[in-house]
Structure 1
Amino acid sequence: MQVIGFCRFSYPAEGGFQVEHDDTGSREAYLYAPARMEERFRHFEAICLPGLKAQTDPDFTFLILVGTSLPDDYRARLEALIADFPQARIVARPPGPHRAVCQEAINAARDMAQPCLQFRHDDDDAVAVDFVDTLREAALDVSALRAKHRLVGLDWNRGYVARPDAEGICGEETVTPFWGVAQAMAVKPGVKQSIMNFGHNKILRFMPTVSFTDSLMYVRGHNDHNDSRQKKHVKPVALPRLDAAGEALFRDRFAIDADRVREVFD
């Protein structure tokens, strides 16, 4: 079964942000600001990519949606980071309606005559190294549901919330359902709706969903440029510093190397 992961990398969509802007130019200026882009690249390199590159099942496609207006130096930097990641593919689109553009990009990579497993992924989040393997297994486990329904949601709700910095990683375990990371959807052949047609915390309103809590499956990035943290009255979250055992867990489970984090964020 085809597996497609989807990541928006500073794509200047119309809608899809919790903080809005007056026009496309204002949005691009915000998204491509040097300080913000530097942080996005640091998280993408040190947190997001390692676990995806280390998947025990390498048979998947990872789409990275960017704007056609992404400056050339940023595009080159992005291409360099995925040079050793053959599953990754950059797709560039002009600004457009968020859900429609994401759906088109995903479906362009699909074999629409076949069933598909899709997962959403932010550029500062991580999944466990066996996520694709586990996703395929879960799809078999819910075969009866998939036979009856056009769409079936799959959500792994146990993981970590974490903040990387020059000293390493601060983080703690959490169980948070439908958080938008390690979240997937099984799609029947011919169905055009994609996982990006649904808000990650609202997906259970539109389809049967199955949640799994048995294993650590994600790292949810926590940083100053999270879209969800740009609104007023959002308080900082105090996270404990990982000790040696915690750093070893991150390395083994998510392929996140705390020493590399320290280098990248220094």
Structure 2
Amino acid sequence: MAHRIRIIGLLRFSVLTPTYYSERFPTLDEIAAHIWSADRMALRFHLFEKLCLPSLTGQTDAGFDCVILTGERLPSEFRDRLEALLAPHPNMHLRAVGTDNHYQLLKDGYNSIDLGDATHKALFRLDDDDAVDLGFIARTRKRAEGLLRMQDPKTPSIIAYNRGFYVQRNAGGENEVFDATERAPLSTGTTLVAPVAYHRNPYRYNHRALAQHYTTYSDISVPAFIRTIHGDNKSNPTQMGATHQMKPHRIEKALSRNFASSLADLKAL
């Protein structure tokens, strides 16, 4: 039987929900005031426009959809800006959502994309301040097809892209850029491959613990992610693996080949 795979991504752009950021802010209004403050929005748009969105729109394989979740109460100036950024890209879908349970909003976001005649889906996750390499979709498709041939195609599995780069932003000067090869799945680009009827998605479990729940394929064949570290990270961006193994000239070459970027670009990000 031929397997037909539908690739769908989802990222959150300042979604307002009582089950996200609740550990820091006791009320929904306080969460809204934080996530939609002018300074925070300036940072999120900067990283989304300069890093995240170009990594998606520049894919060598454009046969995928990506859902961008945001809040219904997002101030109109930010909503208009986001809509304008996404308008030229028909496979980018802005979904403004209410204040339901966080995971339910994510489920509904993935489910908003028509699967057509697909037999399987490859659902990836990404944060709005990170990037995947330009061959990410093509490689995900190839890896997913291989996993379906290798095991029972009814069994869900994870593809984790564990090699890439971090950008430690420094507001007072040049950013630090360094390589990393992780030993546990990151949030950036992690993909769940499953039959279309499977009801979970890659946000269901903490990404670091996915290998406890699924057969997991760790791909370190190429640098596949750029992850930013800055003052507004929701989670603690700890490296779990080897870092600082590449000399600057090798980083430069890998950034050019895989991200159409440069060391100077990331140091100035």
Residue 78 of structure 1 deviates from its aligned partner by 1.1
CA distance in 2, matches of 1:46, 1:40: 10
Q: After superposition, where does 1:19-38 map in structure 2 within 5 Å?
A: 19-38=23-42
The equivalent of 2:201 in structure 1 is 194
Identity of aligned residues (%): 24
State the SS of the aligned residue for 2:164: strand
Instruction: Establish whether residue 128 from structure 1 lines up as the match of residue 125 from structure 2.
Output: no
Instruction: Establish whether residue 145 from structure 1 lines up as the match of residue 145 from structure 2.
Output: no
State the SS of the aligned residue for 2:208: coil
Which is further off, 169-178 or 64-73?
Answer: 169-178
Asked if 1 retains the 8 angstrom alpha-carbon contact of 2:223 and 2:254, the reply is no
Q: After superposition, where does 1:96-107 map in structure 2 within 5 Å?
A: 96-107=100-111
State the SS of the aligned residue for 1:70: coil
2:87 counterpart (66, 83, 87) = 83
Asked if 2 retains the 8 angstrom alpha-carbon contact of 1:50 and 1:256, the reply is no
Which is further off, 196-205 or 32-41?
Answer: 196-205
Deviations 1:47-92 (A, max 9, x none): 1111211101001001100000001110111122223333211001
Aligned-pair RMSD on alpha carbons? Answer: 2.7
1:179 counterpart (163, 182, 186) = 186
Residue 3 of structure 1 deviates from its aligned partner by 0.5
Q: Give the gaps of 5 or more residues in structure 2.
A: 238-243
CA distance in 1, matches of 2:22, 2:209: 15
Q: After superposition, where does 1:11-90 map in structure 2 within 5 Å?
A: 11-17=15-21, 19-90=23-94
Instruction: Establish whether residue 116 from structure 1 lines up as the match of residue 121 from structure 2.
Output: yes
The equivalent of 2:10 in structure 1 is 6
CA distance in 1, matches of 2:97, 2:185: 27
Q: Give the gaps of 5 or more residues in structure 1.
A: 231-238
CA distance in 1, matches of 2:38, 2:217: 40
Deviations 1:218-264 (A, max 9, x none): 1111111101249xxxxxxxx9xx9576445324312336666688x
CA distance in 1, matches of 2:64, 2:46: 24
The equivalent of 1:252 in structure 2 is 257
| TM-score, length of structure 1 as denominator length | 0.86
The equivalent of 2:166 in structure 1 is 161
Larger relative CO (CA 8 A, sep 6+): 1 or 2?
1
The equivalent of 2:240 in structure 1 is none
Q: Which amino acid aligns with 2:200?
A: Q
State the SS of the aligned residue for 2:207: coil
Q: Which amino acid aligns with 1:175?
A: T
Asked if 2 retains the 8 angstrom alpha-carbon contact of 1:165 and 1:261, the reply is no
The equivalent of 1:235 in structure 2 is none
1:92 counterpart (90, 96, 100) = 96
State the SS of the aligned residue for 1:74: helix
